[in-house]
Structure 1
Amino acid sequence: MNPSRRALLRTGAGAALAAAGLAAGAPAATADGSRAALVTGGRVRNLTGPAETGRFAAPWTDLGIPARCPDGSMLFVCGDTFDGGGVGGPDWRSPVGLRSSNASPGALAIDGSVGGAHAVGLVPEGHAGGTTAIPSDVFTVGSTMYMHLMRGVIYRTHHSDFWRSDDNGETWQYLCQWPGDQYGGQFQQKTYAVADDGYCYVLSTAFNRDITSGLLLHRVPQNALGDPAAYQPWGYAGGAWGWGNPPTTITGARRWGEICFRAMGGKYAFTWLNMAPLDIRAQVFALPTSNLFTTPEQTMILPTVPGLEVGNAVASPYGGFIVPGSTFADFHIAVSQWFDNQNYRVMQYRINGLAA
């Protein structure tokens, strides 16, 4: 089945930006429209593709959310995955797990999969009526891995659900789910920062690139991740921000693509696919409750058209998930690409000049 239900990223925005001379790098965009230091970057390697992952019956796949496993390997959890000659080929699975036995950002290479020679779907998903299971985050707390999925026809999320693995992602057990319309749909796509204070901090948006959504913040004790009642919202009420208030957006509403939130280097990093204008951005801040309305937005990946990819300019980019082991001085992200049925892959990019 050809997954034409997914809205492809338009290359027109990339062409417009390239024509404006924004193809090789971009300064950080601040809330007042001023510019900071230049952020640059470049492709390190393709992580997936016929040459890289075809031997696992996964030549065509995307997302590749990276999580360091308890055994020290790296698991990349991917979205819609196909065998055969291109996107829409046979053996549609989602999600799948691909492995790099070396977890160093400088030496990543897929050399295994969950399922061995044939990457298997990590959870039951028959794709009846065009439904799928799209991962929005995978992360590790102690000896347990967690995975959050958005379920339903693409961009019509019926519910999201949450799973755990105690064997490095080989098998997954269901924990809980949330309705797709919770908080007006703004709790569909979730990403988790594992903090050192016993909490995970959770950012969420609607999962639909075509609609405007706020960005909500919750916290949940790390020993209660599978209990929806334990998720405490952060919101503005009675003239003050506070935990337990009804959730309100913590930054300006916009059209969001994929999001990724991580605690690292004594700070927090948030990366996302921005839809208007199309690019992949980052914010770095001190606390989960920092003011994101005024935190500079740093552009890491810019769009371009096929054949004009250079530096951090990518044709039809999305994703942008932070690779574990990154530092602000050596920052790596997993970037997806899809502009035709044989250009659908996950790539690793190194970002230079990120202000922290």
Structure 2
Amino acid sequence: MRPARKVCDLTGPGLTDRFGVGGTDLGATVRAPDGRLVSVFGDTFEDAGVGGAGWRSPIVLFADPGSLATGLRWTGSAGPDEYAYQVVDYTHHGYRRVRSGPLGWRQVSTVLPTDLLTVGGDLWLHVMACRGLGNVRATELHRSRDSGVTWDPAGVRWPGNHLGGLFQMLTWEADADGEWVYALSTGFQRAHGLLLQRVPADRLTGPDAWQGWGWDGTDWGWDRSPTLVLPGAFGEMSLRRVPDASGHEWWLLVVFDAGNYRIDAYLLDHPTANLHEAPRATLVHGCGWGEEDHDAGRVAQLYGGYIVPGSTLSGLHLVVSQWNTGTNWPYRSMQFRADVGALARSLTWP
């Protein structure tokens, strides 16, 4: 199977300057209730690179869904003007340019988004409050009732050590009936495996409503302490329902496997499928600077890997990040395209 190929850069000079976005990363994306694509980004600066003026996180950009094939075309941002404001309210090392209500945390260095979710007419955002990268003090949900323009705390928060610290980095998706939301999570240290939970779609803010998928020594079941469904050293991930060429929807997990320095895709018939046996394809390989070939899926200091709505198995579009920590540029998000349709031949649609 061929690796992913780069479609275009999504952020950086000449692309997102009008939003006050020179350097940024991440880019989890969903389709909003109003039909637009909504992408959420992490630490953002006005100049290309890391540092300098305009440090804020998270920010939101909107894209035209019709631009998927040739590269997302940004049409606006969450702000009263074109400038992409920070959508969660906290003081960011003295920098403050926000449009939301009180967060309740202070003395954190940054608040990073992990994933978005659309349920009915609402958008949900899961974030991590960090005091330094990898040190998560708490996670929290925020909600937007206007398709991502404004956001408010949803009133639920988990400590950073919840589930042994493996409820920090998260991805989630609702089932086709809109009844359950399934969530995979791990720590933010890129040193841990994955846990699986589910929660009724109408009870996201009820901590007691979240059910773990666990092994009791005999079999797997719900409403147990969650057990690792896949050991490893994982980072950013994206769980979505994605159709194949015939229109059948599969569950697809795209995950940054930091331990093996690559972005992989796992094809599942259900979120509870055995990830040890699921068909897997490597989409993007990590490499050193000077060894890159974006047309062959080789990217230096890569991470992320978020599925873009409108994707199919044969036309899978991803948002991939890159940060040269030695020079602080490139520090950007890019769009890649892959074909994982062959994975579906390994499974039978029920």
TM-score bracket relative to the smaller structure: 0.7 to 0.9
Moved more, 257-266 or 162-171: 257-266
Equivalent residue in structure 2 for 1:352, among 332, 339, 342: 339
Aligned partners of 1:72 and 1:103 also within 8 Å: no
Q: Is 1:292 equivalent to 2:292 in the alignment?
A: no
Superposition CA RMSD, Å: 1.5
Equivalent residue in structure 2 for 1:178, among 148, 155, 158: 158
Q: Is 1:270 equivalent to 2:248 in the alignment?
A: no
- 1:246 and 1:343, CA in 2 relative to 1: closer, same or farther beyond 3 A? same
Aligned partners of 1:148 and 1:163 also within 8 Å: yes
- 1:85 and 1:193, CA in 2 relative to 1: closer, same or farther beyond 3 A? closer
- 1:353 and 1:239, CA in 2 relative to 1: closer, same or farther beyond 3 A? closer
Q: Is 1:54 equivalent to 2:37 in the alignment?
A: no
Q: How does 1:1-356 map to 2 (within 5 A)?
A: 38-107=1-70, 108-115=72-79, 116-128=81-93, 131-153=109-131, 154-175=133-154, 176-197=156-177, 198-209=179-190, 211=191, 213-251=192-230, 253-265=231-243, 266-307=249-290, 308-311=292-295, 312-339=297-324, 340-354=327-341, 355-356=343-344
Look up the SS of the partner of 1:64 in the other structure.
Answer: strand
Look up the SS of the partner of 1:229 in the other structure.
Answer: helix
**Residue 305 of structure 1: CA displacement?**
3.2
**How many residues are matched?**
316
- 1:302 and 1:141, CA in 2 relative to 1: closer, same or farther beyond 3 A? same
**Residue 130 of structure 1: CA displacement?**
5.6
Aligned partners of 1:205 and 1:216 also within 8 Å: yes
> With CA pairs under 8 Å and 6+ residues apart, which has the higher RCO, 1 or 2?
1
Identify unmatched segments of 5+ residues in structure 2: 94-106, 244-248, 345-350
Residue aligning to 1:6:
none
1:39-65 Cα offsets, whole Å, 9 max, x none, are: 322111111111100111111110011
CA distance in 1 between counterparts of 2:288 and 2:119 reads 39
Moved more, 180-189 or 108-117: 108-117
CA distance in 1 between counterparts of 2:89 and 2:294 reads 39
CA distance in 1 between counterparts of 2:87 and 2:204 reads 20
Kindly provide the amino acid, as one letter, of the partner of residue 113 in structure 1. Answer: S
1:106-126 Cα offsets, whole Å, 9 max, x none, are: 142113111132110011121
Q: TM-score, normalised by structure 2?
A: 0.87
Aligned partners of 2:27 and 2:41 also within 8 Å: yes
